[in-house]
Amino acid sequence: MDYLKGLNEPQLEAVTTLEGPLMVLAGAGSGKTRVLTMRIAHLITNLVDPFHILALTFTNKAAKEMKERVAKVVGQSEARNLWMGTFHSVFARILRSEAHYIGFPSNFTIYDSQDSLNVMKKVIKELNIDADQYKAKKVLSRISQYKNNLITVKAYFNNPELLENDERANQKHIGAIYQKYVETCFKNGAMDFDDLLLRTNELLTRFPEVLAKYQDRFRYILVDEYQDTNHSQYLIVKALASKFENICVVGDDAQSIYSFRGANIYNILNFKKDYPDAVTVALEQNYRSTQNIVNAANVVIGKNLQQFKKNVFSENEVGEKIKVYRSLSDADEAAFVASNIWQLHNSEQMNFDDFAILYRTNSQTRAFEDALRKKNIPYRVYGGLSFYQRKEVKDLVAYLRLLVNPNDSEALFRIINLPTRGIGDSTQNKLIVFADAHNIPVSEVLNNLGQFAPNLQLNNGIITKLADFWAMIKAFQVMLKEENAYTVAMEVAKRSGLIKNLKEDQTPEGISRVENIQELMNSMQGFIDEQIQVEDGDPSLSNFLENIALSADTQKDKKDDDSPKVSLMTIHLSKGLEFPVVHLVGLEENLFPSFMSSSTREELEEERRLFYVALTRAEKRAYFSYAISRFQWGKITDAEPSRFLSEVDSEYLELINPAIESRFVNHSGLKSNIFDEAPSETRFFKKKEPKKSLNRDEPQIIPKNLKPVSTAKIINPSGSSSQDIEVGDRVRHDRFGVGEVQFLDGTDPQNIKAKVIFQHEGEKNLILKFAKLTKI
DNA sequence: TTCGCACACTTTTTT
DNA sequence: AGTGTGCGAA
């Protein structure tokens, strides 16, 4: 058993304790994934049929990675029978085969958050409830809370405390909305994310034979990131494990960062109460990071009251101090990070994939993308708007969803008039009202248009349009029985008029939308190929749709080459990953910790755990940065440094732009450094940056007949002459894009104004000192 | 019914 | 800044 070699003592115990409940408290970087992998391998080596093993993870990525690693140890064929996946995908699969028990079609649609929100908006509207007082998003998150705590509509109405609570919060209609929302989803044959867990619970509690079946099947259960399970997930795991009690949970309470979506940290804190015989193993040695990083992270997380006592330590080198950079603006911060990466890449031959830029919110990405692009540094943004959430992609997907599940009226009304075919709002409303009144799905009305037409109060022209539309959908459905999903989707894209509609828009955005559709088709082909290759693969359209609903893949649209790239992601997404160099950016009050989470101690502690997660991603070096002002909500906002900065003992920190004092860092570590302390305003002209190769699609539409009016030169404020801007130069501006300098005015080098005509933005007067123009 | 424009709101994190 | 919503005109 080679794979047991090289494990430390607690790791070995965690891997080899196969029977009975086991809790592994795995500190950051302590080899958690390795332990999980080896444990599964060890189970299989000890003749447990992989068929009886269930491993639950939080992300598809984690599941995929673990499966691959297990396969390396025990071989492909053994690994294949494992059930390994996210809670949502595993239970979606179970629900599909057992759907009839709870009155759902087995091809039920899965609503993503966007779909749920749309449905909720309609529900509120239909109930004639004031949409200002009942914000769809808020209502939805409230209902999500209820669902995750197994409070059904009925339970809600039977619970005086909840009723009173909502009444006092001036939300007395929540119950009615909740009811209507659930009804709508049910009628549509759809489940939202929370339903996948709630309905699984329903299935397991109401039907003992189903429970028994899966209890017997899943004799060994492993749960990764147990600290992030919510109550609903907790109950499922508990029910499934209650027969054999071979349950192994792995987690770290210090890394619980999902309470906003119902994660209940007490699930892990109380594991011992649920299973008094449980063996607990603590993995405390961090193999990932330098001592400085581990110690700094410990100090911060130590401020939290709510936690297990752990002693995470590192025996790696002490390492460098964490560098802190104070910047003037978000753009300045991004420029620092980019040049720092460039510098390390050149001077220490580090690869670009050794770097990560971690931030609190997705909206912070843009500045970094700009800065990295300017330096020609390859990068990849993770998360953000998923490819499958783009409008044009969702539109085509809506057609496909409708083919699989004609009751999905959310999909139906999304595309019934797209591209416009004269079926407007009032017609749609009539359809809805009529279907509601007769208590049948809208698809039924469309199926029997001839019969219902006289009662629909629609003119013949509209009836014809409806009939045509529905005939088209029907034809697609017939086709789906004979052809594969790809062929059908292609036909849908063409015959629905979607592609034609998109092609009419010849702007760059329009062209990229067509490309996105093409990419969707490609990913579909890829999916089908993949499914055909595996033994029990399912290349059906319905399986494809489930897959995209449960995966937030952002990368389908980019050319997926494997060249090293800098990673940009939110801290949440970075959990479980590690990088030699981490830039943790935007360390400002109200950004991190978020202004939404500074009011209660619990919220603040979660933000602190988030900080802990971020810092412990770093192997060798960590950089903190913050800006004193930031472009936000369309205007410049002042910012204070994050409280977390002051929570790190200064012995672990080093300020790297000492020209500016900071009240948080002592000045012992002032040294010359990569920045040679140039304050950032004066650096704009000084930097000779690698230029992007000639830009592909910028049309030359600057009028040639405009003559320069002045030949005044700008004297570079920093004394360097490499970037002097003259009349007639083509320049690039961060926001306005490419333009030509028409006119320069002023002799004081600090105050020269330039008139620039931009290709898209037209004429602007800019003060050179501030405008950050780059000559191109 | 469709289109275009003014406006309001946004940004916390994800399956 | 960017996107979604609602209203009024064609």
* A548-588 tens-digit pLDDT: 888 766 555 445 567 899 999 999 989 889 999 999 999 99
Distances (CA, A) of A253 to A24, A56, A263, A268, A310: 11, 17, 11, 7, 10
| A121 CB less than 7 Å from any atom of strand C | yes
Q: Angle A88-A76-A31 (CA atoms, 0-180°, nearest 5)? A: 65
Say what the pLDDT of residue A646 is.
93
From the list A503, A485, A509, the residue with the least C-alpha distance to A397 is: A485
| A764 CB less than 7 Å from any atom of strand C | no
CA–CA dist A70, A76 (Å, integer): 8
Q: Do residues A27 and A254 lie in contact, with contact meaning Cβ atoms separated by under 8 Å?
A: yes
Query: Two tokens at A705?
Result: 């007949």
Say what the pLDDT of residue A31 is.
92
Query: Two tokens at A397?
Result: 């997907």
Chain segment A637-684, per-residue pLDDT in tens: 899 999 999 999 999 999 987 544 444 433 333 332 222 233 332 222
Nearest protein residue, CA measured to C1' of B1: A424
Q: Residue A391 CA to nucleotide B3 C1', Å?
A: 19
Range in A37-41, A83-87, A313-317, A659-663 the model is least confident about = A659-663
**Which amino acid, A182?**
V
Instruction: Label the pairing between strands A730-733 and A774-775.
Output: antiparallel
Q: Residue A409 CA to nucleotide B8 C1', Å?
A: 29
Say what the pLDDT of residue A724 is.
58
Q: Residue A523 CA to nucleotide C4 C1', Å?
A: 29
Range in A164-173, A243-252, A748-757 the model is least confident about = A748-757
Nearest protein residue, CA measured to C1' of B10: A633
| A633 CB less than 7 Å from any atom of strand C | yes
CA–CA dist A318, A293 (Å, integer): 8
Nucleotide nearest to A391 (CA to C1'): C3
CA–CA dist A503, A692 (Å, integer): 29
**Which amino acid, A323?**
K
Chain segment A515-526, per-residue pLDDT in tens: 888 888 998 999
What residues pair up with A282 in beta bridges, in sequence order? Answer: A25
**Which amino acid, A629?**
S
A30 has binding-site annotation: yes
Nearest protein residue, CA measured to C1' of B11: A363
Maximum pairwise Cα distance, chain A: 87
| A507 CB less than 7 Å from any atom of strand C | no
Say what the pLDDT of residue A4 is.
87
Q: What does A483-538 look like in DSSP terms, one character per residue? A: S-HHHHHHHHHHHTSHHHHHHT--SHHHHHHHHHHHHHHHHHHHHHHHHHHSTT--
**Which amino acid, A177?**
I
A420 has binding-site annotation: no
From the list A338, A303, A198, the residue with the least C-alpha distance to A604 is: A303
Give me the residue label for tokens 């919510």: A230
Say what the pLDDT of residue A757 is.
67
CA–CA dist A408, A392 (Å, integer): 18
Chain C, protein-covered positions (CB within 7 A): 1-2, 4-6
Q: Which uninterrupted H or E stretch holds A84? A: strand A83-86
CA–CA dist A224, A628 (Å, integer): 39
Quick one: three-class SS letters along A225-283?
CHHHCEHHHHHHHHHHHCCCCCEEEEECHHHCCCHHHCECCHHHHCHHHHCCCCEEEEE
Kindly report the pTM of this predicted structure.
0.81
Nucleotide nearest to A60 (CA to C1'): B15
**What confidence tier does A764 reach under pLDDT thresholds 50, 70, 90?**
low
CA–CA dist A426, A410 (Å, integer): 17
CA–CA dist A582, A656 (Å, integer): 16
| 3 state SS of A563 | coil
| 3 state SS of A328 | coil
**What confidence tier does A103 reach under pLDDT thresholds 50, 70, 90?**
very high
Q: Tell me the backbone φ, ψ of residue A220, rounded to 5 degrees.
A: -125, 120
Prior bond to A419 cis, omega within 30?
yes
Nucleotide nearest to A366 (CA to C1'): C1
> A583-592 burial by CB neighbour count: b if 16+ within 10 A, else e?
bbbbbbbbbb
| 3 state SS of A111 | strand
Q: Residue A127 CA to nucleotide B6 C1', Å?
A: 28
Nucleotide nearest to A121 (CA to C1'): C5
Alpha-carbon Rg of chain A, whole angstroms? 29
Residues of A serving a catalytic function are 32-33, 224-225, 255, 617
| 3 state SS of A591 | strand
Q: What's the start-to-end Cα distance of chain A, in Å?
A: 61
A27 has binding-site annotation: yes
Say what the pLDDT of residue A438 is.
92
The angle that helices A231-241 and A208-217 make with each other, rounded to 10 degrees, is: 80
Say what the pLDDT of residue A471 is.
95
* Domains in chain A: boundaries: 9-101+197-283, 109-188, 313-384+559-655, 387-552, 729-775
Q: Residue A66 CA to nucleotide B1 C1', Å?
A: 54
Distances (CA, A) of A239 to A264, A379, A703: 17, 44, 73
CATH code of A9-101+197-283, in short, is 3.40.50.300
CATH T-level assignment (fold) for domain A109-188? Arc Repressor Mutant, subunit A (1.10.10)
Prior bond to A508 cis, omega within 30?
no
Q: Residue A125 CA to nucleotide B7 C1', Å?
A: 21
Nucleotide nearest to A632 (CA to C1'): C1
Nucleotide nearest to A362 (CA to C1'): B11
Domains A9-101+197-283 and A313-384+559-655 are alike in CATH topology: yes
Average pLDDT, rounded, for chain A: 84
Q: Residue A633 CA to nucleotide C2 C1', Å?
A: 10
CATH code of A387-552, in short, is 1.10.486.10
CATH T-level assignment (fold) for domain A313-384+559-655? Rossmann fold (3.40.50)
A764 has binding-site annotation: no
Say what the pLDDT of residue A28 is.
93
The residues close to strand B, meaning Cβ under 7 A, are: A 58-60, 86-89, 112-113, 137, 193, 257-258, 260-261, 360-363, 383, 417, 420-427, 462, 550, 552, 570, 572-573, 594-597, 632-634
Query: Two tokens at A730?
Result: 């083509």
